[in-house]
Homo-oligomer: A and B are copies of this chain.
Amino acid sequence: MTVANGAGQEPGGKGKQSVRVGVVGLGRLGRRHAQNLAYRVPGARLVAACSPLDEERTWARDTLPDLRLYDDYAALLADTTVDAVWLVTPSALHAQQIVDALHAGKHVFCEKPLSLDVAECERVLAEAARYPHLQATIGFMRRFDPSYRDAFNKVRDGAIGRPFLVRSQTCDWNDPDGFFVRFAPTSGGIFLDCTVHDIDVARWLLGKPRAKRVFASGTVALHEGLREFGDVDNGVAICEFEDGRLAVFYASRTMAHGNDSGSEVIGTAGALSIGRNPRLNRVEILDAHGVRNECTPTFFERFEDAFLAEAQAFVAAVRGGAQTGASLADALEATRIGSALRASLASGEAVTL
């Protein structure tokens, strides 16, 4: 599918200096970011990469354009040719790595979440306030998905009147191996790991209202191993914002059909639905199973374009454009609401923020 408004993503912006980027972390998603930055983001130059794993650095050496390779984050920060760092590292490291990058004078893009801990988020914000000239963005990539972007623009332009309700979901294809069960001790639970995207979407589409109260519930449909961590594989929640705005969230690890992540925003004069059918592409199959389409298997395929657009936007922001992604303050709010959801799930009670 097509970018509703592809304007402005091309021009190399001749005459301006390229942004020299160092990517940190070369797992599956890190590699995607590295390749985007290396080949598909005008105005960016991927000049360095950092990973503690030999195997990942070997991949970089074989696959990426010539760049400096580090096995130590501090060494990369000491590289004066690096203008911006791109953190695709374990969540527990994000907060400190962001602070270190800012201290080193680097712009910083960091995958979500900022931190699973509200106080730590606040500490990062306090530090970042000292570096107003540096970009610091958290990678809520849905804001850069062409369809989400189109919906946002339509809402902004009044197409559905006053928006008052967002329904949003992050639903993963069931992984029979239950990778996320092993990940459960550090993931923060389904609401901080998955719903955090929906929280950001809801705030973004509703005009960033302040959250007042939440209620969450959930169930273990398939993955019994989650119980010992107080986690669930299917969670639902309601979030009340000020001014009577509302959000309803759903997160699942057990979808049979693929990654089904979408949102709906309802206003006084209409509604917009984004990704209601998680179609893989434009092909429909007509056979003994009926009329059908295949689904996006993971968020990776679903948000391929969004990952690229967010990189382009970040680089444009560093080069002088307006910031367009989620700010650290947005990320703090997402963590604050997600933590309240987790508390509500644990207590069975509504939680007032």
- A residues at B contact (CB < 8 Å): 1-4, 6, 10-12, 14, 35, 38-40, 42, 62-65, 146-147, 150-151, 154, 159-162, 164-165, 167, 213, 215, 217-222, 234, 236-238, 240, 244-246, 248, 250, 252, 254-258, 260, 262, 266, 268-296, 301-302, 304, 348-350
Contacts and interface: CB of A to CB of B under 8 A. Distances in A.
Nearest to A258: B290
Contact of A62 (B14, B217, B252, B295): B14
A272 B260 contact: no
A270 B290 contact: no
B270 A276 contact: no
Contact of A215 (B219, B238, B273, B302): B238
Nearest to A147: B282
Contacts of A65: 12, 14
B4 A294 contact: yes
B221 A164 contact: yes
B301 A285 contact: no
Given A14-B62, A288-B257, A217 B240 contact: yes
Contacts of A291: 257, 277-279, 292-293, 295
A308 to B, nearest CB: 10
Given A281-B150, A285-B272, A288-B257, A64 B12 contact: yes
Contact of A304 (B3, B256, B296): B3
A240 to B, nearest CB: 5
Contacts of A276: 276, 282, 284
Q: How many copies does the complex hold?
A: 4
A256 B164 CA distance: 13
B285 A270 contact: yes
Contacts of A219: 164-165, 244-246
A194 to B, nearest CB: 15
B165 A4 contact: no
B246 A270 contact: no
B244 A236 contact: no
A256 B270 contact: yes
Contact of A286 (B215, B272, B284): B272
Given A1-B281, A257-B291, A349-B349, 15 more contacts: A6-B301, A39-B40, A150-B280, A150-B281, A159-B287, A213-B348, A218-B246, A234-B246, A254-B268, A257-B286, A272-B286, A276-B284, A291-B292, A292-B293, A349-B350
A266 B174 CA distance: 13
Contact of A280 (B2, B165, B350): B2
A151 B283 contact: yes
B304 A6 contact: yes
B270 A286 contact: yes
Contact of A248 (B1, B146, B248): B248
